[in-house]
Chains A and B, each alone.
Chain A
Amino acid sequence: MITFIQMEFLKLKRSKIFLLSLMGAILPPLLMFIAVTAFDEGHSFEALFTNVNMYMSAMFAVLIFAIIISYLFGREYSEHTLKTMLTIPISREKFLISKYIMFLVWIVILTVVTSLSTLIFGFIAGLEGLTLKLIITSFSQLLLANVLLFLTFSPFVFISLLITNMVPAMVGGATLSLINIMVYGQNWAPFVPWVCPYLIASGEIAKYGANIMVSYGIILVTFLIGLAVSLYQKGCCNLKKVL
């Protein structure tokens, strides 16, 4: 499995999508930096971290993750590499799971980049109130939100195996981001799989009076359904799509 993951890393060498995703991870801190400096939106590191985490995990991450998923899984079809890989032979399940792990690692990298860039932009803006505890808490919150969000993206794996083009992923991701914005603040937000990760991680879920275990359950069920259907789809391995 380690070799599989190493090879997934190698596949990203010179990848423009990887660089674009890093830029996407820097975008929320950059926008918040502009808001702080140009529009006088709060002058503390705490406010900056809170805003960045919210915009990242509830909005930007959804779009970025959809694109990453589409690239990671769909490229094996669109670049006709799946037929090469499957005849090696390799286990289809191992292949799929290594991609899930790569996706998770990619998410962790993006989380680190977002947190680090927030820190740097905060320094440039001359914000106050930075403590080690704040850094750890904010990073942990964003990491938890993104990891939970990762679990809710398994249905997108199925879709990317079904439609290997990246355009539907971008449209889907953008739509989901908009839905998240609309849903955020509504009573039923804790029951929407792509919104509740941020609510759980930030602790905002308490304001909604919803049972946190129900939200965890929704995330888990979403993950399991997505995993099952994507494994089934990979198992079927439609010849016309492979070719």
Chain B
Amino acid sequence: MVEYIIETNNLSKIYYNNTVVDSINMHVEKGKIYGLLGKNGAGKTTTMCMLLNLAYPTSGEIYLFGKNSKKYTKEIYSNIGSIIETPGFYENLTAYENLKIISKLRKDFYPQNINLVLEMVNLENSKSKKFKDFSLGMKQRLGIAAAIMHNPELLILDEPINGLDPFGIKEIRTLLKRLSHEYGITILISSHILSEIENIADVIGIMDNGILIEEIPKEELHNRLNKFVEFELSDGYRAVELLEKIGLKANKDFTITKEGIIHLYSNLEMRDKINALFVSAGIDVKKVNLCEENLEDFFTRFVSNN
């Protein structure tokens, strides 16, 4: 039986008659990385805040580790690490002192733990630097250090790679994958960088206008992405005539770009025959590619369809 670390039941949040989160039923499996995908204002942060007890749901229930979050608050939340948007730390204190405050309040202060997590996020040389002197990337990494310092079973990370350079993004991605795969930590992560979600998540939840449209396992995602054949030809408009002659319809079975490149969406298995048709008609075929819709296009299409 599948064990869910996060499960919500018709979870909703309404602010001043504005429904920000609308009856969502989220299922985050143990040990998996769940990527929450959605435009700005889709309700991702509010959902995460409700999961973290930072905002009270208007209606619905939250089950964390199989327990009702209202009844076992302390027990549950001491087992969660989180970052919500920009991590908040005391600006006049150093990285070490900030982590010390958090660990002391958690009642698990061990200096070696702090040093270890600072090392994990590559901040060991900046532990005596004041937080106000940190770059945005360093702040994000300190946020991750604070989130993982107490060895939580669940990480809830809202846009954790915000402000990181490509090298930093890769580091954090590797770290999160390691935490999930080696230590079995369940991770709920949101990001506006779709490729990042695609890279890291095992399951992708798509949110729009406060609604969780669908939860798609990554294996299934690739089956759902539209595939097409791209022809780069010497005479695109002549090719269109040929395609229409064999019964294919423009803007349905194929499209033509301004540059005369044809995208064929149906009858993909016939691409060799179509290629031969073009060649026999004297059209030079410069390139034939079997392409897959990228996640951004899929997301745009999926959200607008729903």
Q: Which of B89-97, B255-263, B267-275 contacts A (4 or more CB under 8 A)?
A: B89-97
- Of all chain A residues, which has the CB nearest B73? A89
- A: contact size bracket: 20 to 34
Q: CB distance B107 to A3 under 8 Å?
A: yes
- Of all chain B residues, which has the CB nearest A85? B105
Q: How many A-B residue pairs have CB under 8 A?
A: 83
- Of all chain A residues, which has the CB nearest B89? A81
Q: Which of B50-58, B223-231, B243-251, B276-284 contacts A (4 or more CB under 8 A)?
A: B50-58
Contacts of A75 in B (CB 8 A): 90
Q: CB distance B107 to A11 under 8 Å?
A: no
Q: CB distance B89 to A79 under 8 Å?
A: yes
Q: CB distance B106 to A88 under 8 Å?
A: yes
**Residue B100 is within 8 A (CB to CB) of chain A in the complex:** yes
Measured in the bound complex, the distance between the Cα atoms of B82 and A82 in whole Å is 13
Measured in the bound complex, the distance between the Cα atoms of B146 and A50 in whole Å is 50
**A167 → B minimal CB distance (Å):** 18
Q: CB distance B100 to A87 under 8 Å?
A: no
Measured in the bound complex, the distance between the Cα atoms of B107 and A61 in whole Å is 36
Q: CB distance A87 to B82 under 8 Å?
A: yes
Q: CB distance A13 to B104 under 8 Å?
A: no
Q: Looking at B85, B87, B91, B92, which has the most chain A CB atoms within 10 Å of its CB? A: B92
**A16 → B minimal CB distance (Å):** 8
- Of all chain B residues, which has the CB nearest A7? B101
- Of all chain B residues, which has the CB nearest A15? B92
Q: Is the interface of A mostly helix, strand, loop or mixed?
A: helix
Q: CB distance A84 to B92 under 8 Å?
A: no
A10 with B97: in contact, given A79-B88, A84-B102, A87-B52 (CB under 8 Å)?
yes
**A17 → B minimal CB distance (Å):** 9
Measured in the bound complex, the distance between the Cα atoms of B131 and A13 in whole Å is 13
Q: CB distance A10 to B101 under 8 Å?
A: yes
Q: From the candidates B54, B82, B93, B146, name the one contacting A242 in the complex (CB within 8 A).
A: B54
Measured in the bound complex, the distance between the Cα atoms of B54 and A242 in whole Å is 8
Q: CB distance A83 to B105 under 8 Å?
A: no
Q: CB distance B91 to A79 under 8 Å?
A: yes
Q: CB distance B49 to A243 under 8 Å?
A: yes
Contacts of A81 in B (CB 8 A): 88-90
- Of all chain A residues, which has the CB nearest B51? A87
Measured in the bound complex, the distance between the Cα atoms of B90 and A159 in whole Å is 21
**Residue B45 is within 8 A (CB to CB) of chain A in the complex:** yes
- Of all chain A residues, which has the CB nearest B106? A88
**Residue A212 is within 8 A (CB to CB) of chain B in the complex:** no
Measured in the bound complex, the distance between the Cα atoms of B208 and A138 in whole Å is 66
**Residue B77 is within 8 A (CB to CB) of chain A in the complex:** yes
**A70 → B minimal CB distance (Å):** 16
Chain A residues at the B interface, C-beta cutoff of 8 Å: 3-4, 6-7, 10-11, 13-16, 75, 79-90, 237, 239, 242-243
A-B pairs, top 3 by smallest CB distance, nearest first, are A80-B88, A89-B77, A239-B55
30 CB contacts below 8 A, A to B, read A3-B107, A7-B101, A10-B93, A10-B97, A11-B92, A11-B101, A13-B93, A14-B93, A15-B92, A75-B90, A79-B88, A80-B86, A81-B89, A83-B49, A83-B52, A83-B54, A84-B87, A84-B88, A84-B89, A85-B102, A86-B54, A87-B54, A87-B77, A88-B102, A88-B105, A89-B74, A89-B77, A239-B54, A243-B45, A243-B49
Known: A13-B92, A84-B146. 16 other contacts (CB 8 A): A7-B101, A7-B105, A14-B92, A16-B92, A80-B87, A81-B88, A83-B52, A84-B89, A86-B54, A87-B52, A87-B53, A87-B82, A89-B53, A89-B74, A89-B78, A242-B54
